[in-house]
Amino acid sequence: MHKLTTPLAIIAATLLAACGADDPSPTAESTYAWNVPEGFPLPRVPEDNPMSEAKVELGRHLFYDTRLSVNETTSCATCHKQELAFTDGKTTAEGATGDIHPRNSMALVNVAYASTLNWANPVTTTLEQQAMVPLFNEDPVELGWVGHVDEILGRLRADERYPAMFEAAFPDADDELVSLDHVVKAISAFERTLISGNSPFDQYMYGGDDDALSASAKRGMELFFSERLECFHCHGGFNFSDSNDHENTVFREVAFHNNGLYNIDDTGNYPEGNQGLYDSTGRPEDRGRFRAPTLRNIALTAPYMHDGSIATLEEIVDHYAAGGRFVTDGPYFGDGRDHPNKSQFVSGFLITDEEKADLVAFLESLTDETFINDPRFGDPFAQAGPSQEQNEEQ
């Protein structure tokens, strides 16, 4: 491990604390082989949904199966593509029936460690809870299960592979094997395996490979972890986020931040229906507060922010250097830099063009090529080649 500046020492200490005093070996209750990167903690797993290879494989198939949408056009993978670190590259997501979601698709990178799911929902704390949202959301419609549960489950029951896969995944089930509960649990188990920790940054910082980072990225790393730029306060720890939960955390780390993106008419308002934590709590002090997502693989997940309103990493740096965004005209006119709820860590800073390039180079060094090319996370239907039905159609 490289010699660390103080903030870097903090992130390393966090990582070591996450590991615990002993090796993160599976507990007696869970013999699932996680294969997490060296030094990473084990994710927390709900007691009623233990991990197994069969369940993860079933979940992978369901994740990529468009028959899980009402009109058989959309799967989980439609909005969460592996090559884009499980985002979709769109400003905001589009549901199966064409409804436009107000939020940008969040990356599923290391989602097993997120203490809360979604951009600004403080009560959705497990992947099993989160999976119900795209299935049953009606405003906007995402996969469109409302009123179609039996129809969609019937497609899975009629498939020649799924009944046996469900039986292998849930061998002790007393009730219906191909059920909503088992669909949700299997998809959640698969998502829990989407762990990334082999970026050039990891190879340099924890693998001891001096050549893994360019000179520019090393300078950018020093900037990222500096008190001058403050980035690491909200994007720190082994997962580059301040909202983490895993087997070794005593208290669930939950944080939401206002980064000065809007301040409509200088009233503190954000666009209607997209006001962050305020939409859940109704408290004025929560207006514009969102969860800081992990920055792992951030170069692949543009556009950025909860509404996809910033296109590039360079523009992201400009936003934080300015201490927020001043919308000069249109319906969202107002100066986000003066938002009363803005985080103390978004105070702005001076940065040269060379430093900005260095900081972007560091952010790009968080891209894990093995993660986005790992066949364990890929589309099983594409890997299997054309189905018999597809061959007959040809």
Q: Which residues line the annotated binding site for heme c?
A: 76, 79-80, 231, 234-235
The whole-angstrom separation of Cα 228 and Cα 4 is: 17
Whether 115 and 106 have beta carbons less than 8 Å apart is answered as: no
- Whether the upstream peptide bond of residue 340 has omega within 30° of 0, thus cis, is no
Report, in angstroms and rounded to the nearest whole number, the Rg of the chain calculated over CA atoms.
22
Contacts of 118 (CB under 8 A, 6+ apart): 103, 106, 124, 130, 133, 291
The whole-angstrom separation of Cα 100 and Cα 145 is: 17
Record the tokens describing residue 169, joined without a space. Answer: 């995944």
Query: Which 3 state secondary structure label does DSSP give 310?
Result: strand
For tokens 């996450």, the residue is: 18
Whether 64 and 76 have beta carbons less than 8 Å apart is answered as: yes
The whole-angstrom separation of Cα 239 and Cα 296 is: 7
Q: What is the chain's length?
A: 394
Q: What is the DSSP letter of 138?
A: B
Record the tokens describing residue 32, joined without a space. Answer: 């699932």
Query: Which 3 state secondary structure label does DSSP give 276?
Result: strand
Count of beta carbons in the 10 Å neighbourhood of residue 262: 26
The whole-angstrom separation of Cα 120 and Cα 124 is: 9
Query: Which 3 state secondary structure label does DSSP give 32?
Result: coil
Record the tokens describing residue 181, joined without a space. Answer: 């509960």
Contacts of 340 (CB under 8 A, 6+ apart): 268
Going from the C-alpha of 128 to that of each of 93, 334, 350, the distances in angstroms are 20, 38, 43
Nearest Cα residue to 43 out of 184, 239, 263: 239
Instruction: Name the binding residues.
Output: 76, 79-80, 231, 234-235
